[in-house]
Amino acid sequence: MPRPATHPVARLSPKLALYLCADLFGFLCLALGVAWFAGGPGVIFDHFPRSTAEAAASATGGIVVIGWAISRILRELARLAPPPASDD
């Protein structure tokens, strides 16, 4: 009986770990900005953001960092992926 094909598991490279940390930082920035708009100052941290401008900059910066990190994560995963099997 033939064995089912197993897929190799990609290891967590240092670059990938760095991009994941950047992604989490972006989500934190986004959450801080959105929480200020939803609940006012001091929802998560007492002294940040203090104004609408800081909240908007935090949310916008978070979205930018998330987009950058996701693109790098996908690029790194594509680089780590095994080559496609040929059906020759």
Number of domains in the chain: 1
Whether 59 maps to a domain, the answer reads yes
Q: Would you state the pLDDT for residue 38?
A: 94
Task: Give the global pTM.
Answer: 0.80
Q: Would you state the pLDDT for residue 87?
A: 67
Whether 51 maps to a domain, the answer reads yes
DSSP state of 84: P
At residue 87's C-alpha, the angle toward residues 85 and 88, to 5°, is: 120
Domain region containing 68:
26-80
Whether 40 maps to a domain, the answer reads yes
Over its length of 88 residues, how does the chain's per-residue pLDDT go in tens digits? 666 666 666 678 899 999 999 999 999 999 999 999 999 888 888 889 999 999 999 999 999 999 999 999 999 999 888 888 776 5
Asked whether the beta carbons of 26 and 62 are under 8 A apart, the reply is yes
Whether 55 maps to a domain, the answer reads yes
Whether 8 maps to a domain, the answer reads no
Q: Would you state the pLDDT for residue 12?
A: 84
Whether 73 maps to a domain, the answer reads yes
Whether 64 maps to a domain, the answer reads yes
